[in-house]
Amino acid sequence: MSVGRWFKRVGDPVTVQEPLVETETDNVTHEIRAPVTGVLSQISVKAGASVECGMVLGNVSQF
């Protein structure tokens, strides 16, 4: 699995359930949504990088 693209940049506000990032496999593209309202405070894995299930891709800091 790999990270397709980020929809937000660090420092951007996000709302709960807003799409943050896409992950891709050979067969499926999946949007990961924000778990809370806040600010995207960190991107841990850049677009194009390989990831495994359960890895932290980024962090959202709550208001």
**57 in Cβ contact with 46 (< 8 Å):** no
Per-residue pLDDT tens over the stretch 5-42: 999 999 999 999 999 999 999 999 999 999 999 999 99
Structural domain tally of the chain?
Answer: 1
Q: What is the mean pLDDT of residues 33-58?
A: 94
**36 in Cβ contact with 20 (< 8 Å):** no
Least Cα distance to 42 among 6, 14, 11 occurs for 11
Residue 7 per-residue DSSP state:
S
Residue range of the domain that includes 51: 2-62
The CATH number linked to 39 is 2.40.50.100
